[in-house]
A and B are shown apart, each in its own frame.
Chain A
Amino acid sequence: MSEKPDIETTVNAFFRLWQRQVTLLAQSPEQGAAELIEQSKFIAERLKSESLQDNSHDPILEDDHGVGEDQ
């Protein structure tokens, strides 16, 4: 079993990686940013579909929907 990582080390690694992403984006030609936007859209679509899937079995939302219809 792997040891639990240290939180300071983890956030430090994240911050450094985030900085590299910011710098690379500033310096890379348009293609890099375009690919990133496409990837973001893909992630957004995935999250949306996961969210819809989860919500389809949500009794509260189903109740709300029913209330709405009654009105």
Chain B
Amino acid sequence: MTEEAALAGKRSGPRPLGLHLSLSSLSFGSSMGAIGLAKEGALAWLPELQEEAAKIQADMQQFAPADLIAALGVEGQSALTHMLSGIEKYQSHPYLRHMPVLPTLWSKGSVSLYDYGVGLPNSAPIIFLVPSLVNKFYILDLMPDNSFVAGLVEGGVRPIVVDWGVPSEVENEYGLDDYILNILVPALDSVLDRFPKAPVHLAGYCMGGTLATALAELKQDKLSSLITIAAPWDFHKGLGQSAKAILGNPTGWDSILQSLGVMPVDLIQSFFACLDPNLCLNKFTLFDQMVQSSKRAETFVALEDWLNDGVPLVRKAAHTCFVDWYGENSPALGNWRVGEKLVQPHNITIPSMIVVPKSDRIVPPESARALADIIPNATLMTPSSGHIGMIVGSTAKKDLWVKVLKWVSP
């Protein structure tokens, strides 16, 4: 919880709470309906689960159906009770993230540019980091001992991070073009002016990587390299059932945007929640069992706070994301325009590293890998972690952080 949220009272997450509770109850309720069929071998299982299902079915033959249903009822109730207890513990957990005061290099409207490398020589390599527009930048600096940007500084690299802020009336009518041409271009120019002797590498995380790709094409004569980290490019590749059901209706998105004027955080969060209907049940059950004063519990709270601290996406930008990108797949088809210009990554000639986490459930690996296929001579890097674990997980330090440092170090 940020200090601001703390002042307003206890947490209300995980957001949207109603959807998370419904999905957890549905998961348990549907299992009650399925167990009888599973015992009779009348339930279809996905191929990769069939062997285990057959073993469990054999064990089930030892018990009467009524006993199995009663025992499953106890099991499910226990899981739901632990989840609710975990949520309550999370909502009232004393951990509070203290936002460090960061030197601002440049700002415009709600957007600021932070220099994490104060103290480094002016010639130190720079990584200009572009985060997603829908989540705050501080996942890159989650905790003092779990901070990607601090790791870069330790390695002698100056991270300069874009903080998009929360859109105000200045950005209300912004499209993605405006975010790139009116924000990222002048922000990057200010860095180039301020540190003329430093090699500047452009990096983007998640949707920020998609934006960075467009920026790289425009500014590559000034850049040393491009790094995209789990950046979606082919929006029709690798989407699961839930994502397709939610994203496959551009008309629905447009009517939401017309009536609300923005894509609200809870709607964006709903999309993420549906990617794994069991996530809330499992993670808060686990959190309930953690020692609440432990480092592990604090890290859980820090990450959960970040997840629930999303940012709404303004109307025009959301239209491009949901209708043009997910609906029409304009980037991969070469139809995405920034200003008058089509974005064509095959024109990027600077060294490029495309990071594609193998276990990414938010951006399908096939979608992110598409950039490595388009950008000439791109280097593909595939950490074994997931979309967020790659940045703050237990293996992040030895995997992504080290590889990025190695990439930018002279």
Q: Which residues of A contact B (CB under 8 A)?
A: 4-5, 7-8, 10-15, 17-30, 32-33, 35-37, 39-40, 43, 47
Contact = CB atoms under 8 A, between A and B. Distances in A.
Interface stretch (B49-57, B311-319, B344-352): B49-57
Nearest to B282: A19
Given A27-B275, A28-B241, 10 more contacts: A14-B38, A15-B75, A15-B76, A19-B281, A19-B282, A20-B49, A22-B30, A27-B240, A28-B46, A33-B241
B79 interface: yes
B59 A22 contact: no
Interface string B252-275: 000000000000000000000011
Interface stretch (B62-70, B173-181, B224-232, B401-409): B62-70
B215 interface: no
A45 B145 CA distance: 58
A61 B61 CA distance: 29
B31 A15 contact: yes
Contact of B44 (A5, A10, A23, A40): A40
B169 interface: no
Contacts of B277: 22-23, 26
Contacts, number: 111
19 contacts: A5-B62, A7-B63, A7-B68, A11-B68, A11-B75, A13-B52, A14-B35, A18-B31, A18-B34, A19-B27, A19-B278, A24-B48, A26-B240, A26-B276, A26-B277, A27-B242, A30-B241, A32-B241, A43-B43
Interface in B8-64: 27-28, 30-31, 34-35, 38, 41-49, 52-53, 56, 59-60, 62-63
A21 B275 contact: no
Interface string B269-313: 000001111110110000000000000000000000000000000
B62 A27 contact: no
A32 B68 CA distance: 28
Contacts of A40: 44
Nearest to A5: B59
Nearest to A3: B62
A15 B62 contact: no
Contacts of A11: 35, 68, 71-72, 75
B199 interface: no
A29 B53 contact: no
Contacts of B240: 25-29
A17 B75 contact: no
Contacts of A18: 27, 30-31, 34-35, 38
A10 B67 contact: no
Given A4-B62, A5-B62, A27-B242, A21 B75 contact: no
A36 B46 contact: yes
Given A26-B240, A33-B241, A17 B47 contact: no
A31 to B, nearest CB: 10
A10 B47 contact: no
A40 to B, nearest CB: 4
B56 A13 contact: yes
Contacts of B97: none
B54 to A, nearest CB: 11
Contacts of A20: 49
A19 B28 CA distance: 8
Contacts of B276: 23, 26-27
B393 to A, nearest CB: 19
Contacts of A47: 42
Contacts of A30: 241, 244
A7 B278 CA distance: 23
